[in-house]
Each structure stands twice: as C-alpha cells, then as structure tokens.
Structure 1
Amino acid sequence: MKEALPKLIEGGAFSDQRGTLQFVNDFDMSVIKRMYFTTHPSIETIRAWQGHQIESRWFFCVKGTFKVKLVKIDDWKNPSDNCEVFEFELNENTPQVLYMPNGFANGFIAVTEDSKLMIMSNYSLGEIEDDHYRFDSNKWVNWEQ
C-alpha cells in the first residue's frame, strides 16, 4: 500500500458584478469532525512543529498568506534531522486546501500581518489519546529564510 503524501486540493473563483465566489469543490469534507482558526498578528510568529501519527489535518488560508511546511516523521521518539520537508504557500486569493496525512508534523509562519488559517481535523478533540507530538521549531528548517 502506497503511503499518502501531502497534496493541494485546488479550487477556483468566479467574479461578476455581485462580487467574487471562491470554491474548492473537490475537497471532500465528509471525514472532518472539527475545525479551528489561528491568527498570526506578526510575521515573526512561528508555530512549529506539531505532529500526529493517527490524525490528519487540512489547512485553508482565510486571510493573508502563510508558508506551511510538513515533515514526514521517520521515528516519533527520535526523528532524524534529515526528514523530507514539503513546503507550500497558502494565500487568501488562491482557494485551495492543503491536505496533511497522518504521520506528518506541521509548522507554519505568516507571510503577511494578521494572517488567519483555518485548520480541520478528522478526529474530535479528545477522541484519541497520546497522538500529539511536538518538536523544536528549528529542527528541520530555518524559518528566517
């Protein structure tokens, strides 16, 4: 069985005299059990690294722009410094959802002030135990670049 990799689910937009409608019609929300938002008032705020062996996540930029980085974890107790990093940029003007399969850790930083990111999960809060892992924010990348 092939392992799942992160992917962007592309959307689109339609504009007329009434305004603009954005959509991501290929995003199947049937597995989503909860969602929440994080707002970064500063481009210096780094949220990294949070990982899940079981849980999957989806990210959608509501406002501004975020750099989102995902790492496939090779050992949850002592991950290698050489894990592959996948990098994405999510922007409010480009409707797309980033899928992070289970087995990955995520980190993100706002590119513009007051950026807002919606995060969705396929598990309810407290539904699974001991599936939250944190790693040093500079373990795999230099966020200053």
Structure 2
Amino acid sequence: MDDMTVRGRWIRVVATSLCGVLLLVGTLFGADDDFPFGPFRMYATGPDPNGDAKDSRVEGTDITGRTVPITEGNSGIRRAEIEGQEAAYVATPSRLSEVAAAYAEHSPGAAPLQSVRLVVRWVGIRHARPTGTYRDEVIARWTRP
C-alpha cells in the first residue's frame, strides 16, 4: 500500500533530479574537490604503462649520521598527510622542521634529527610491469641550523 502524499513524491522527484544534475555537472566540469559530485580522478584514470611509478618517503639523518625512516609510528605523521602537503614542503622546505619536532616528540630517547628530506623514488615501469630499476630524487630538504 502506498501512503506517500503527492507533496512527498514531488519532494523526492525534485531531490533525485537535483542530485542527477549535480552529478552530471560535476562529471563534465568538476574536479576531485567536488567529490562525490565530481570525478575522483584517482580511480577514473590509469597510469602510463611505460611511465615511472612515484613512491614518496620521508627520511632523516640523526646527529650520529644514521639515516632514519620517518614513519607514522615514530613521528605520528601519516604518509598520506606528507603526500597531501608535498607541494607545500617543496615550496617551503623549512616546514620539514615540524617533522623533526614530531619525531623528537614521538621518539623520546632517539638521537635528534640533524636533517629531514622528502624523497621520491621513481620505480621503472615497462609494459605495466616493474623493471627492477629505480632512481631517488630529493625534492625538499631541511637541515638544522
């Protein structure tokens, strides 16, 4: 039995139509920031089957000269947070001092970091398969004054 009023049906039709229009406009003119009404390009496009794959990481050098991988466990900073702010770190490398401070806070007793760098490892890909080759590129570096 259908207990919906004419007004209720009309509201649902308008709401459904509005969502449909937003999806169409977002698909044609939107960007990732418009999700869910715009395309989420990460899933809408495929990588170049012969292009290098990007793998970012943060590493530091402590005062003893040892290289320390910076992880969520020893800094409290998730990898996605670093990758999402990558352009800001490249534009202002001194922001990496905040990573050193977070490392010091989350790793009491560890030797302090003398420097922090944001490194991109470009993994070779050929015919959509890894080639076993790579090259590292330091895209931002901070050194303690």
Greater helix proportion:
2
The structure, 1 or 2, with the larger RCO (C-alpha pairs under 8 Å, 6+ apart) is 1
Structure that is richer in strand per residue: 1
Which structure's CA Rg is the greater one?
2
TM-score, structure 1 as length reference = 0.22
TM-score (ref. length: structure 2): 0.22
